[in-house]
Structure 1
Amino acid sequence: MSDIVIYHNPKCGTSRNTLALLQDKGLEPQVVEYLKTGWTKAQLQALTKKMGVGAHAILRTMGTEAEALGLTKPDTPDEVLFEAMVKDPILVNRPIVDTPKGAALCRPMERVLDLI
């Protein structure tokens, strides 16, 4: 089992390119297709804590209902965002890579290089 996890959406070019970059470096990360598996609140809380960011930092707005749901307001509490992300996993931006060195939303994909 790899100690690198990529929370991946295979339909996303940045996610595919980040996975390919890891593989080009000889790494075989554990691939979690989060749109299929979903999230737990605990997972999201642990990832954002490890990343040193709040829930707003991983909120995906493009192509989602985030704005219509009122989630893009700066004062929306993390708890509300986490609950929405658990209910609709597309609201989490991607790819997120988690390694022993840290975790990050790898946009741009080169951010993954700081984690390996």
Structure 2
Amino acid sequence: MTIDVTIYHNPDCGTSRNTLAMIRNAGIEPTVIEYLKTPPARDQLVWMIADADLTVREAIREKGTPYAELGLDDPALSDDQLLDAMLKDPILINRPFVITPLGTRLARPSEAVLDILPDTHQGPFAKEDGEQVLDAEGKRIV
């Protein structure tokens, strides 16, 4: 299927790997942007966060990042200050963001990507940890 899908991916992240595999299971080869090597431009990051219906604070990754050391938990920080930190140190951008014609999602958990993919899944799908997400017909397991 030809559909324009972009994933802001971190190959070291299991959630990101599962999300990428689910996109491919739908018969789609996405544009993969390793955002730690090629971070989004500020306006693109602002747009992705807004289109995913998130706040800037909801789009920040805390685990495994310098979030606490940088004092980013300070509620007095503005969105601009938080965005500055995310762009300076892209590990602070939560992952994976996926953009499709059906919308933008921060795919956490990874199956959130299913909300913005066409129903073209090719058979069953299980995450790396064995959790079954799609049945033999490619339908979402609730």
Which structure carries more helix by proportion?
1
Offset, 1:2: 5.1
Offset, 1:39: 2.6
Task: Show the 5 A alignment for 1:1-116.
Answer: 3-116=4-117
Secondary structure class of the residue paired with 2:54: coil
Letter in 2 for 1:95: P
Cα distance in structure 2, aligned partners of 1:39 and 1:10: 17
Between the aligned residues of both structures, percent identity stands at: 48
Cα pair 1:61 1:72 within 8 Å, conserved: no
Offset, 1:41: 1.2
Residue deviations 1:67-101 (CA, integer Å, cap 9, x gap): 11111233421111111111010000111111111
Cα pair 1:2 1:30 within 8 Å, conserved: no
Cα pair 2:3 2:100 within 8 Å, conserved: no
Which runs of 4 or more aligned residues in structure 1 lie more than 3 Å from their structure 2 counterparts after TM superposition? Answer: none
Over the residues paired in the alignment, what is the CA RMSD in angstroms? 1.3
Letter in 2 for 1:92: I
Residue deviations 1:24-60 (CA, integer Å, cap 9, x gap): 1101111000000123211111111111221111100
- Structure possessing the higher radius of gyration over alpha carbons: 2
How many residues are matched? 116
Structure 1: where are the runs of 5+ without partners? none
Q: Which has the higher contact order (CA 8 A, sep 6+)?
A: 1
Structure 2: where are the runs of 5+ without partners? 118-142
